[in-house]
Every structure is written in structure tokens, then in C-alpha cells.
Amino acid sequence: MNKKILILGANGMLGHDLAEIFADLKPILWDQADLDITDEKLVLEKLNELKPTLVINAAAYTDVDGAENNQNLAQAVNALAIGYLAAACAKIGAILVHYSTEYVFSGQDQAGYPEDAKTSPINVYGQTKALGEELLQQNCEMYYIIRSSWLYGQAPQVGKPRGLNFVQTMLKLAQAGQEIKVVNDQFGKPTYCHDLAIETRKIIDTAKPCGIYHVTNDGVCSWYEFAKKIFEIKDIKVNLKSIESKDYPLPTPRPQYSILINTKLEPMRSWEEALREYLGSRK
């Protein structure tokens, strides 16, 4: 593949795995210090100067509760910036890969959501991600929007924070030795960032038609079942309690059925198998 690849959000959890999976192609790795994607003029200027043939955007504002109180920032990063990137990519003839989320859907449909389902977000974070998808499609023809869910991956490194994820949070709570309460009535598809990065590479290498793709590990579980499996694999004895969402109120509504249906790609390995590998290799 003769491509000049730029990965944005390279210091993040997903960005780290993308850098590893594309390493043989010597991608250019940028994070916020290298390019503020919310600066429209700078985005156009720097991408025009670099002239990549493929831009992979793993940068995002991912704090679901924080988005409610920082709506302008969430919209700037998750929506407006994606329009800027799309317009810049269109101008230089680059392909844009962008990651989205199950939060663009309401989560009311127990059957889940295929790629062509109409978006219906129920919180600010989901609204900004849905708007980002719209702006991308309005400004660019050569794109891949890859939606995924319940991401987890490598732990943060000193000086390069990659954010907490559910698996790390559960392991930290277990170390504290206190009762752990996890909701049993929200369902989704846990996805290992490493697998998501591999599938991204496959999509690019096989030149799949441009459009929206749902990429998750296979299988559905509740947050409680996810937590239970983490402790089972690690053989950690904990006081884990299954509760309903109404007993664990959060400031922001969450989709109940975060189930992305993949109709375009071969299924990935099960979430349980991916979790075992992650917990086995995690230092």
C-alpha cells in the first residue's frame, strides 16, 4: 500500500493501537499538541502542507457526563472539527477514517441498530457525535465512519494518558476491596481497541466501499456480565452486586441497548475471547 498515513489522537487508547497496527507503513502520529482539530484554518493549512493520502481520526471528546456541562467543547471536538477535517481531506484528495459510537442511537430497540438505522441520540455526547457524522458526509465523499462500542485497551502510560476504561476501573475497584455495584439492565458489545485497529486496517487494505461500518467484538452482554467475566478470568474474588439502572442514577441518560449490528463485514471474535487476551497480556 503506497499511502502517506496520518493518525490523529495518537496518544489515546485507540490511537496507540492504530499506530501499532499501521507501524509497517510508518504513519505520522499527531495528537492535540501537534494539531488542534478545532482550529479550522490550522487544520486546512497543516493537512495541505503534509498532504496525507489517508487520515485516521481517533481524536474525540469522550466524557459523556462532562459533555452535558461542556457542550461547546464537546461540539467543537466531536462535530465541528470533523467537518473541518472532512473539508480538508476533500481538498487534498485524502481518505478520511473517523470513529463514532453507539451513542448516536437512543438504545430503545432491543434488536439493535444496523449501519443504516436513523440516528436518535438521547444525550449531548451522542448528539455531537451524530452531528460529526453528518458534517463529515456533507464535506467529504471518500470516508469510512466506523462505529464501535464499550471500548477498552492498553492502560495509560506516564506522560501519555489514554483514559480510564471499564476493565481498568473494575480492576482498581477490586483492589480497594469494597462492594462493587454494576448495572444489569444496560446491554452492549464490549470491544477491544486492538481488534478495532486490526479491522480498520483490513477495511483499508481491502478497499471496502466508502460508508458506515459497525465494528465490535461479537456477542452481547450487560455491564454486570462484563464485570463478572473480568473477575472470573483474573480469578479475583470480589463482592460484586447486580443492580438496576434506577438504583445507580447518573447525571446523563445512557442507551439501554447499545447494540450495533454488523451487516457488512465478517464477524470479529467474541468479546470473551478478546477480553481473555487483553487480561492475559496486560501488564
C-beta atoms surrounding 143 within 10 Å: 24
How far lies 45's CA from each of 41, 60, 82, 88, 159, in Å? 6, 21, 15, 9, 28
Q: With H, G, I as helix, E, B as strand and everything else as coil, classify residue 216.
A: coil
Check if 257 is active-site. Answer: no
3-state helix, strand, coil in the chain (%, to 5): 40, 20, 40
Tell how strand 143-148 and strand 211-214 pair up. parallel
- Spatial contact of 162 and 109, defined as CB atoms under 8 Å apart: no
Residue 3 contacts by C-beta under 8 Å, 6 or more apart in sequence?
25, 52, 53, 54
- C-alpha 271/C-alpha 221 separation (Å) is 9
How far lies 258's CA from each of 28, 37, 104, 109, in Å? 33, 28, 10, 9
Which is the catalytic residue, given 84, 125, 192, 257? 125
Catalytic residue numbers? Answer: 125
